[in-house]
């Protein structure tokens, strides 16, 4: 059981307008060397295996921005999205990022007898920007949007689920030496009214990339720093080749 979905924004429009492609221009004169960039397909290859969340988990959704770098033109910004759309979807493109990738993982056989030590599912995503400044700008806007969206409800007619999310805490921290914030939300799921769950989310700014991991958990524990560190290291290793 999960309530997030992964989407790609304006991919068809970008391709039709010829805006997709290398977003890194050749340096002129003595300009600083551009930060290394990889495609969405490459980013996808570095995401954590489903087993990193818990043994037996499976990938239910997988999406990336493809084999070319995208334009830095932004079609959307966090403040333009409703709370429901911002927090119940992962966007791999559209924020002016040059590449992105995301996976959703699911617990196919949740052992409710183990509650509250029970994870229903999770997500991971990485958005790559052309510059560290662009990544930092998106990171700050994402933090501001979470702060604004302290409470909202959503209905999923397809799965006959009504959910209600309330922020319990939003805190800035560091993971490794990177800026980060952790969000803990109480989740009221109509499908399991007798049990309480939490949506735990961590967002990390590391160089030109913004990383996100979340889970839907019976406990309100922050996302593991080691899990995030492992994801960051796997992605950073791509730039060494």
Supply the pLDDT for residue 232. Answer: 98
pLDDT exceeds cutoff 90 at 219: yes
SS in 3 state form for 65-117? CCCCCCCCCECCCHHHCCHHHHHCEEECCCECCCEEEEEEEECCCCCHHHCCC
Supply the pLDDT for residue 163. Answer: 76
Considering only 29-43, 94-108, 225-239, which range has the smallest mean pLDDT?
Answer: 29-43
Give the residue, 10 or 227, on which the prediction is more confident.
Answer: 227
Supply the pLDDT for residue 158. Answer: 52
Q: Please count the other Cβ atoms lying within 10 Å of the Cβ belonging to residue 226.
A: 11
Give the residue, 241 or 174, on which the prediction is more confident.
Answer: 174
Supply the pLDDT for residue 64. Answer: 95
Q: What percent of the chain has pLDDT over 70?
A: 82
Considering only 49-58, 183-192, 203-212, 228-237, which range has the smallest mean pLDDT?
Answer: 183-192
pTM of the model: 0.87
pLDDT exceeds cutoff 50 at 177: yes
Give the residue, 162 or 126, on which the prediction is more confident.
Answer: 126
pLDDT exceeds cutoff 50 at 145: yes
Residue 146 backbone dihedrals phi, psi, to 5 degrees? -60, -40
pLDDT exceeds cutoff 50 at 76: yes
β-pair type (5-7, 89-91): parallel
- Residue 176 tokens read as 């490794």
Supply the pLDDT for residue 87. Answer: 87
Read off the pLDDT band of 191 (50, 70, 90): low
What structural domains and CATH numbers belong to the chain?
5-20+37-240 (3.40.1000.70)
Supply the pLDDT for residue 143. Answer: 98
**Any bridge partners for residue 174, and if so which?**
179
């Amino acid at each position: 059981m999960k309530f997030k979905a992964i989407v790609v924004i304006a991919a068809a429009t970008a391709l039709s307008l010829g805006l997709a492609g290398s977003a890194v221009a050749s340096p002129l004169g003595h300009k600083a060397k551009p930060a290394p960039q990889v495609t969405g397909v490459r980013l996808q290859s570095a995401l954590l295996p489903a087993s990193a969340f818990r043994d037996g988990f499976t990938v239910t959704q997988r999406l990336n921005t493809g084999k070319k770098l995208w334009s830095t033109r932004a079609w959307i910004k966090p403040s333009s999205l409703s709370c429901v759309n911002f927090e119940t979807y992962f966007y791999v493109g559209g924020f002016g990022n040059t590449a992105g990738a995301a996976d959703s993982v699911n617990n196919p056989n949740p052992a409710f007898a183990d509650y509250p030590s029970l994870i229903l599912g999770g997500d991971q995503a990485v958005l790559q920007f052309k510059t560290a400044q662009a990544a930092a700008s998106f990171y700050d806007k994402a933090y501001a949007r979470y702060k604004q969206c302290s409470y909202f409800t959503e209905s999923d007619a397809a799965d006959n689920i009504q959910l209600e999310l309330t922020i319990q805490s939003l805190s800035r921290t560091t993971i490794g030496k990177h800026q980060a914030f952790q969000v803990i939300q109480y989740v009221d799921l109509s499908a399991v009214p007798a049990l309480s769950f939490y949506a735990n989310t961590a967002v990390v700014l590391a160089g030109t990339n913004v990383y996100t991991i979340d889970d839907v958990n019976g406990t309100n524990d922050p996302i593991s720093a080691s899990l995030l560190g492992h994801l960051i290291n796997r992605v950073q290793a791509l730039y060494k080749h």
